[in-house]
Amino acid sequence: MNPPSASTRTHCPYCALQCAMHLDTGADGRLSARPADFPTNRGGLCRKGWTSADVLTVPDRLNRPLLRKDRDSDLVEVDWDTALDHIAERLLALRAESGPDTVSVFGSGGLTNEKSYALGKFARLALGTSQIDYNGRFCMSSAAAAGMRAFGLDRGMPFPLTDVGSAEVVLLAGANPAETMPPMMGHLSAPALIVIDPRRTATARVALDNGGLHLAPRPGTDLALALSLLHAVRVQGWVDTDYVAARTSGFEPAWEHAAAWWPEQTELLTGVPAEQIRAAADLLGKAARNHSAYILTGRGTEQHAKGTDTVSAWINLALALGLPGRAGSGYGCITGQGNGQGGREHGQKADQLPGYRKIDDPAARDHVARVWGVDPDSLPGPGRSAFELLDALGTPGGPRAMLLFGSNPVVSAPDAGRVRERLVGLDLLVAADFVLSETAALADVVLPVAQWAEESGTMTNLEGRVLRRRRAIPPPEGVRTDLEVLSALAVRLGQPAERFPTEPDTVLAELGAASAGGAADYSGVTPERLAAGEALHWPVRAGQEPTPRLFLDSFAHPDGRARFTAVAHRPAAEEPDTEFPLIATTGRLMGHYQSGAQTRRVPELNSAEPEVYVEVHPDTAARAGLAAGDLARLTSRRGHTSARVRLEPTARLDTVFMPFHYAGAQAANNLTHPALDPTSRMPEFKVSAVRLEPEPDHDPATAAGR
């Protein structure tokens, strides 16, 4: 093993900006992070990035496998052979009893491209199961589905982030980068911002301070607002008719739905003043006329049971203005997880094979099967989506075992109490993690795996740029990489060892071959090109230049045209009533990330935001008998959560907000609704009907989470 270098240039383990950083090794052998220059972060880091090295040495870091002999026993340390033999024995027995789909796999948008690829291959070959999906389904699946039907291709941002900084106007729908991706705000300092968000977020305040607009719709009404903006854009004369005629199809059917949403009508539903809608249309339209406007969407507008249609409505607006596929303008989705883009391109999703190929496409199956050296007919078909998979666990006809890699669904999934019950009811739950997360604590076997600075691999950031994350130090003694775990299990399940290599560059080369010719073609991504620092935006075909800007000549549909999609507003899956009169919506904090399994263990981050809070208007709090600092109970039809009251005078009277990074009785997802988008299968995270009242038990540690 190579000794650690004094300084290693790599990338942050958190969000999809994938900020560049240096990891410096101190005299005591510990690492510390400092920023490096890179297009997305331009020499900056957020609080999470600065403290990222602390995650590697948290006190409860695991370095030996843990095994629970039966449900009434505690987890105890065992050696690797004992743990892996136990897993393989149980998997083989379950498959023999109930068939391959009795075993399932749940992955992560935080895994490297190599691990994402290997995990999908492991599921389909070593396990023979169709039951694989990942937590990225909870991230940007709605935007991906909307992008596919509009453009024929899904790459979150089909242009470099640096392009955005020169625009006159940027509309941000459901995105709060000032808190979730602070270095991104350097690219948004020059444009006037139009922020669409129910809350007066840090990003909304930046917009207002710099002459922009903040439109605060009632949660669940974004689609109507987007339709109304299209209405105003057409009535006010900003539609680019030449672009629409030359480069798109389907405008008139889409317009039929927008025609009814004049601003005064929209104000009644959304609460956004009609004059603000018209002002936003003019601000955006003038910039679009100068080919200098972008529309960017985020989780706030996507995490709904109608998220795909809502994003389609924002894309319709962008197409009407002539933005996509034009230099200086465009539509893009702000990817959340570190490898949210690459994680869904190479086989973790239930319906996909590497290269963004559809698993039910005979040509795709034939191509990938040839690379894998198997019969195409041996590959399983599409399986269940993420929540449907979790909800089927342990039920009649559902999987009886699950292998989890890099995910913590007990905290991150909707209706978290129900998900916990499903996981507890399994015959076998295996978690590969670096700590005993809330989900790992329920497992029968826990496998300690290497972390971001202890292994190499590639990531694909929010611009579709493939980059190298480099190893700075070896893993602690007793810890293995995910690739080593998958290889060892595959061999025990009867696979040849050479089919599951453990070296990341070997896996990358195979990934390139498997993705060659697909929409997300990585066949030209090589260690040499990565080392040379090329900007490898996919598709990166062998022997060809990368593609930083998509759609400049044509879109990816056979006729080269983008598609308008006719979408209509519909209510949220659950509306407030007398029993549950308020709307709860969820989101992120600057100092925490995803389920908090990493950041809640970093003292500097946890001390800044040690417990969950509920943001509420003072009048709404007073009506519930609550004051600032009181402990409140929020209850929905699915469960309840305890949270400290934080008063916010700019909040909507009908809406409360909670960050979702906390666990147990503080988990916001105890409340959330599992209704699914019919296309993307995204759950309804952003709208839950709740009631607010004083917490009868003032100790959150003992309050029941369900």
Give the per-residue pLDDT at 241: 98
Count of helix runs (H) and strand runs (E) in the chain: 23, 30
Inter-helix orientation angle 274-289/263-270, to 10°: 120
- Given this structure, which CATH class describes domain 141-334? alpha beta
SS3 267: helix
CA angle 525, 527, 528 (to 5 degrees): 100
Q: The tokens of 13 are what?
A: 């383990």
Name the residue ranges covered by the structural domains of the chain: 7-57, 66-138+341-503, 141-334, 582-694
SS3 248: strand
Give the helix, strand, coil percentages of the chain, each rounded to 5.
Answer: 35, 20, 45
Give the per-residue pLDDT at 72: 84
CATH 3.40.50.720 matches 582-694: no
Q: How do residues 88-144 score in pLDDT, each as one tens digit?
A: 999 999 999 999 999 999 999 999 999 999 999 999 999 999 999 999 999 889 999
66-138+341-503 against 141-334: fold identical: no
Confidence of residue 3 (pLDDT cuts 50, 70, 90): very low
Q: How do residues 343-387 score in pLDDT, each as one tens digit?
A: 989 999 999 999 999 999 999 999 999 999 999 999 999 999 999
Give the per-residue pLDDT at 698: 59
Confidence of residue 70 (pLDDT cuts 50, 70, 90): confident
Least confident of 333-337, 385-389, 419-423, 441-445: 333-337
Q: How do residues 664-689 score in pLDDT, each as one tens digit?
A: 999 999 999 999 999 999 999 999 99
657, pLDDT greater than 60: yes
H-state helical runs in 482-557: 482-492, 504-515, 527-531
406, pLDDT greater than 90: yes
Mean pLDDT of the chain: 95
Give the per-residue pLDDT at 702: 39
CATH code for the structural domain at 7-57: 2.20.25.90
Q: The tokens of 320 are what?
A: 């009407």
List the beta bridge partners of residue 659.
587
Q: How do residues 475-529 score in pLDDT, each as one tens digit?
A: 999 999 999 999 999 999 999 999 999 999 999 999 999 999 999 999 999 999 9
Q: Are 4 and 25 in contact (CB under 8 A)?
A: yes
- Given this structure, which CATH class describes domain 66-138+341-503? alpha beta
* Pairing relationship of beta strands 7-11 and 20-25 according to DSSP bridges: antiparallel
- Rounded to two decimals, the pTM is 0.95
Q: Return the CA Rg of the chain.
A: 24
Give the per-residue pLDDT at 6: 83
